[in-house]
Amino acid sequence: MNVVDYLRISLIDRCNFRCQYCMPADTPLDYVPSATVLTNAEILTLLQEVFIPLGFRKFRLTGGEPLLRPDVVELVGAIAALPQTQDLALTTNAFLLAPLAADLYAAGLRRINISLDSLEPEIFHQIIGHRGRDRWQQVWDGILAAHRVGFDPLKLNVVVIPGVNDHEIEDLAALTLDRGWHVRFIEFMPIGNAELFGERAWIASAELRQRIRDRWGLVESTVRGNGPADVFQIPGARGTLGFISQMSECFCDRCNRVRLSADGWLRPCLLNETEQLDLRTPLRSGESIGVLREQVRSLLLRKPEINFKARESGTNDGVYARTMSQIGG
């Protein structure tokens, strides 16, 4: 069985964007009550008393948009200071990143993933559901600020939507030629906008790789990350290209992660909503930490059977109660 040692922690389910593939404009804003969001102290208790004793050493802070959380820098510092933390990363849309980049770096954060689905402002604003104000430039400024501060690796996440931004694959790949940046192409998933998924479907990573190979050539990279990306490199490029192929190339057998939502639900599989575990309620009601730890241990042992295998067994109907922003991405 694959070792599960990577916890993605959603700090907040709110976001300042309304991305088509996550929280489209016509989706009601059904945020969890603020009183149910885990506090810093509760997150640290779960890490130190439940997850770290079970072998977790890698942590990623997500949202919603995690930089909307007022105490995010303090939490980064507290997690980075834990002696068992081997890797700490954060995923952001970078809209609020420029003024926070230096503080996050000083707090101990070294790895950051930034969502950048288009280099064309008009298409970018179409995807994120905002028009008028130039949010693309503010995001780009955040990316440049993170680069100046020294975040390494600096990864750019691209959700590829057929007919929307797929014509930019080569331009986005070219960002890695003279910068040590790592671009990750992610196949479009049905979570968050099943209607758009039904209309547009997804483009297999193999097709994207062939397009890049035809332009520059493409070789497998020796660089490997903590996640499921297959990593390649344009010959001579300073950065890398990753392909996350959850739709075309099932990687359940090597999944090493679970997700903790902002309101304390532990989800063993992104694409399967069964067997989620509520940790907040028993934690606040005084349940023994030992009991919580054993419940999580039991869930981890069942994870291989919970993992999404709809292509083989039809265990999931493709209907999701929570959007990507609520799950934690």
Which pLDDT does position 273 carry in this prediction?
80
Q: Is the model's pLDDT at 53 over the cut of 70?
A: yes
Q: Has residue 287 been placed in a domain? A: yes
What does the block give as tokens for 145? Answer: 């600020």
Which pLDDT does position 288 carry in this prediction?
97
Q: What is the pLDDT of residues 215-240, one digit of tens each?
A: 999 999 987 776 778 999 999 999 99
The terminus-to-terminus CA distance of the chain in angstroms comes to 23
The mean pLDDT of 29-40, rounded to a whole number, is 91
Q: What is the pLDDT of residues 284-315, one digit of tens each?
A: 999 999 999 999 999 999 998 888 654 444 44
Which pLDDT does position 314 carry in this prediction?
42
SS (HEC) of 143-184: HHHHHHHCCCCEEEEEEECCCCCHHHHHHHHHHHCCCCEEEE
- Structurally, the chain folds into a number of domains equal to 1
The mean pLDDT of 93-122, rounded to a whole number, is 97
Percent of the chain exceeding pLDDT 70 equals: 87
Which pLDDT does position 1 carry in this prediction?
60
The mean pLDDT of 142-149, rounded to a whole number, is 98
Q: Has residue 170 been placed in a domain? A: yes
Q: Has residue 1 been placed in a domain? A: no
**Burial status of residue 18 (CB atoms within 10 A of its CB: 0-12, 13-18, 19 or more):** middle
Helix residue spans in 222-320 (DSSP H): 280-284, 289-306, 310-313
Query: CATH number, domain at 135?
Result: 3.20.20.70
CA distances from 88 to 55, 103, 143, 225 (A): 15, 15, 18, 12
Q: Has residue 293 been placed in a domain? A: yes
Q: Is the model's pLDDT at 115 over the cut of 90?
A: yes
What does the block give as tokens for 181? Answer: 């940046």
Percent of the chain exceeding pLDDT 90 equals: 71
The full DSSP string for 77-109 is HHHHHSTT--EEEEEE-STTTTTTHHHHHHTT-
The mean pLDDT of 125-139, rounded to a whole number, is 86
Write down the pTM of the prediction: 0.90
Which pLDDT does position 132 carry in this prediction?
58
| Three-state DSSP state, 70 | coil
Question: Residue 289 sits in which domain range?
Answer: 6-327
Q: Has residue 54 been placed in a domain? A: yes
Q: Has residue 313 been placed in a domain? A: yes
Q: Has residue 272 been placed in a domain? A: yes
Q: Is the model's pLDDT at 140 over the cut of 80?
A: yes
